[in-house]
Chains A and B, each alone.
Chain A
Amino acid sequence: MTSTTTSTSAPEPARRPARRSARDLPPWPVALLACIGVVLFALPLVGLVARAPWTGLWTHLSSRFVVDAAVLSVVSSIAAAAVAALVGVPLAWVLARVSFPGRSAIRALVTLPMVLPPVVGGAALLFALGRRGVVGGPLHDATGLLLPYSIWGVILANAFVATPLVILTVEGALRNLDRRYEHAAATLGASRLRVLWRVTLPMIGPALGVAVVVAWARALGEFGATVTFAGSLGGRTQTLPLAVFVALESNRDAAVAISLVLVALSLGLLISLRDRWWPSR
């Protein structure tokens, strides 16, 4: 663990150029299975690129419904990542630091959306927060606020599936943290909030960055919960994945063009993650 508490950008840990030695070569079954794994993930991309309408690409991407969907997707996914961080980090802190009965149950509950089919999550949100929902009903009667069919519904559905990623990543980082720095700061008279703000958060900074970017990427690709909870209307709730789904049935070239953009965007996000954030311990 590098021990910097003063500067926010931790110095690059000494990276030794990897030297190839016979010991590092994988045994052949490992190499074979790893290759199969790579092919499995690369093949769909090859299919997409092979189907791509390269000549008319820009025409497809600049059409009205694609631009509307792209703007909505970017805005709602960033907002969802922000919500995920705002809710996920405190939750992760509580789960990592506070021992209370039912903690495992709470952890299971808040990470459930990761394994739940998104459509189920969307339906559950609808029954809870829709106009006739358990909470949404009284809310709508009192304030006139309606989450489905609005960008707020899209953001909520996206945040619902993205937050667990933040919780798990940040909780892991908090558990691996060397707590002596926090103790030292507390001994020197820093309040708990100040310790959190000036010591803990900077130390888990890289992990927090990873968490937010992964949550953002997840929100960008969200489909099932969004369409079930927020519906699908061009310019209002139709995000890029929803636009792909609808276009796939009528205008396949446009669908493939949007898919390429989504792949490029997500791949870019993940690659940037690898270079900047992943601690090379």
Chain B
Amino acid sequence: MGGVCAATHDTDVAQRATWTRRCAALALLVMTPLAAGCAASEGDVDGSNRSGASVSGATLEGSLHVLVAASLLPVAEVLAGDFELLHPGVDVQIAGAGSSALREQVLAGAPADVFIPADPSHLQTVRHEVGISGEPVVVARNSLVLAVPAGNDAGVAALADLTRPELLIGLCAAEVPCGAHARAGLSRAGIEPVPDTDEPNVRALVTKLAAGELDAAVVYASDARTAAGIESLGWDAGSAPETTYEAAVLTRAPNTQAAEAFVDFLHSAAARDTFVAHGFGAP
């Protein structure tokens, strides 16, 4: 404190100069987006005039809120971008989390248009308590695989290795679909895993696995395909647990038109190719 005060006297002028510069910089920072905003809104006006003149009321616009299971997040971002190219007036907002957490958000009144959980059972709860319009549409499938960090330093070979206590093993919590399906599949195969962590959603699990902080984990085939730094070892004990992604438009969707168009788009051939490229199964 004392040192600072003593120094103030000498450097008063210099400090004032610094402050002037800082203020100028700050003013620039504040004004740039403002100017950009002005330009953008002028563009919007032009755009809406054009579309209003040419199209007969079928133009979709506004924002569209889509809640997706954590495992869908990477592919959903890509699909949202594709959809926005087709419908430039629509701004698609993707939110991803554990399916059951999303279900709770929907039940609690989150402003959403489309809900795509990793397990159709969550959709049933939502249908009963909140209501969905029309029938849910299957947009993709996924299966679970044993995955290891790139390099597989621990030498994991099979699902049975999930029982080795000296390895660091991760699963999803039993409360989220990836955890429930993994446990069901392992128990069918008579394997009792000894996890070191039950992550609250599959993204968190993939992050730890890719960082090499786990030796093996059960994740979705889509994660094993797209996440950098992890390898899939498949499922070596009977048939792999599968899950189905069903998309539904909520009854109270603020933007029903865009929501229905988005679900249709997810069912299109183009979207199917994108899903498959990300390691998902076709519906």
CB–CB A246/B197 < 8 A: no
Instruction: Name which residue of chain A comes closest to B180, CB basis.
Output: A250
Q: Would A175 and B198 be within 8 Å (CB), given that A126-B213, A132-B212 are in contact?
A: no
Query: Within B1-46, which residues are at the interface with A (CB < 8 Å)?
Result: 1-3
Complex-state Cα separation, A242 to B173, whole angstroms:
11
A132 cross-chain contacts in B, Cβ below 8 A: 211-213
CB–CB B168/A232 < 8 A: no
A99 cross-chain contacts in B, Cβ below 8 A: 2-3
Q: Would A127 and B211 be within 8 Å (CB), given that A233-B196, A246-B200, A249-B175 are in contact?
A: yes
CB–CB B104/A231 < 8 A: no
Q: Would A227 and B200 be within 8 Å (CB), given that A132-B213, A246-B175 are in contact?
A: yes
Is the C-beta of A218 less than 8 angstroms from some C-beta in chain B? no
Complex-state Cα separation, A149 to B273, whole angstroms:
39
CB–CB B104/A248 < 8 A: yes
B173 cross-chain contacts in A, Cβ below 8 A: 232, 246
Point out the residue from A130, A149, A232, A246 that lies within 8 Å of B211, measured CB to CB.
A130
A238 cross-chain contacts in B, Cβ below 8 A: 198
A247 cross-chain contacts in B, Cβ below 8 A: 175
CB–CB A131/B212 < 8 A: yes
Q: Would A233 and B213 be within 8 Å (CB), given that A99-B3, A228-B204 are in contact?
A: no
Is the C-beta of A158 less than 8 angstroms from some C-beta in chain B? no
B200 cross-chain contacts in A, Cβ below 8 A: 227, 232, 242, 245-246
Instruction: Name which residue of chain B comes closest to A132, CB basis.
Output: B212
Point out the residue from B101, B174, B176, B196 that lies within 8 Å of A149, measured CB to CB.
B196
Is the C-beta of B281 less than 8 angstroms from some C-beta in chain A? no
Complex-state Cα separation, A234 to B174, whole angstroms:
11
CB–CB B175/A231 < 8 A: no
Is the C-beta of A237 less than 8 angstroms from some C-beta in chain B? yes
Query: Within B152-174, which residues are at the interface with A (CB < 8 Å)?
Result: 168, 170, 173-174
Instruction: Name which residue of chain B comes closest to A249, CB basis.
Output: B100
B197 cross-chain contacts in A, Cβ below 8 A: 149, 231-233, 237
Point out the residue from A228, A231, A250 that lies within 8 Å of B196, measured CB to CB.
A231
A131 cross-chain contacts in B, Cβ below 8 A: 168, 212-213
Complex-state Cα separation, A23 to B219, whole angstroms:
66
Complex-state Cα separation, A148 to B208, whole angstroms:
10
Complex-state Cα separation, A245 to B199, whole angstroms:
11
Query: Within A218-261, which residues are at the interface with B (CB < 8 Å)?
Result: 227-228, 231-234, 236-238, 242, 245-250
Most B CB within 10 A of own CB, among A123, A126, A231: A231
B198 cross-chain contacts in A, Cβ below 8 A: 231-234, 238, 246
Complex-state Cα separation, A238 to B173, whole angstroms:
11
B175 cross-chain contacts in A, Cβ below 8 A: 246-247, 249-250
Query: Within A106-153, which residues are at the interface with B (CB < 8 Å)?
Result: 123, 126-127, 130-132, 146, 148-149
Count B interface residues, CB 8 Å: 26
CB–CB A250/B3 < 8 A: no
Is the C-beta of B136 less than 8 angstroms from some C-beta in chain A? no
Is the C-beta of B98 less than 8 angstroms from some C-beta in chain A? yes
Instruction: Name which residue of chain B comes closest to A99, CB basis.
Output: B3
Is the C-beta of B96 less than 8 angstroms from some C-beta in chain A? no
Complex-state Cα separation, A28 to B254, whole angstroms:
39
B212 cross-chain contacts in A, Cβ below 8 A: 130-132
Complex-state Cα separation, A190 to B115, whole angstroms:
70
B207 cross-chain contacts in A, Cβ below 8 A: 123
A127 cross-chain contacts in B, Cβ below 8 A: 211
CB–CB A126/B211 < 8 A: yes
Is the C-beta of B195 less than 8 angstroms from some C-beta in chain A? yes
How near does chain B come to A238, taking the closest CB pair, in angstroms?
A: 8
CB–CB A231/B211 < 8 A: no
How near does chain A come to B109, taking the closest CB pair, in angstroms?
A: 13
A231 cross-chain contacts in B, Cβ below 8 A: 170, 196-199, 208
* Top 8 closest pairs, chain A to chain B, by CB: A231-B197, A249-B100, A132-B212, A250-B175, A149-B196, A249-B175, A99-B3, A130-B213
Give B contacts to A, CB under 8 Å.
Answer: 1-3, 98, 100-101, 103-104, 168, 170, 173-176, 195-200, 204, 207-208, 211-213
Give A contacts to B, CB under 8 Å.
Answer: 99, 123, 126-127, 130-132, 146, 148-149, 175, 227-228, 231-234, 236-238, 242, 245-250
Besides A99-B2, A248-B104, A249-B175, 8 other A-B contacts (C-beta < 8 A): A123-B207, A131-B168, A132-B211, A149-B168, A175-B1, A231-B197, A232-B173, A250-B100
A-B contact pairs, 10 of them (CB 8 A): A99-B2, A123-B207, A126-B211, A130-B211, A132-B212, A234-B198, A237-B197, A242-B200, A249-B98, A249-B100
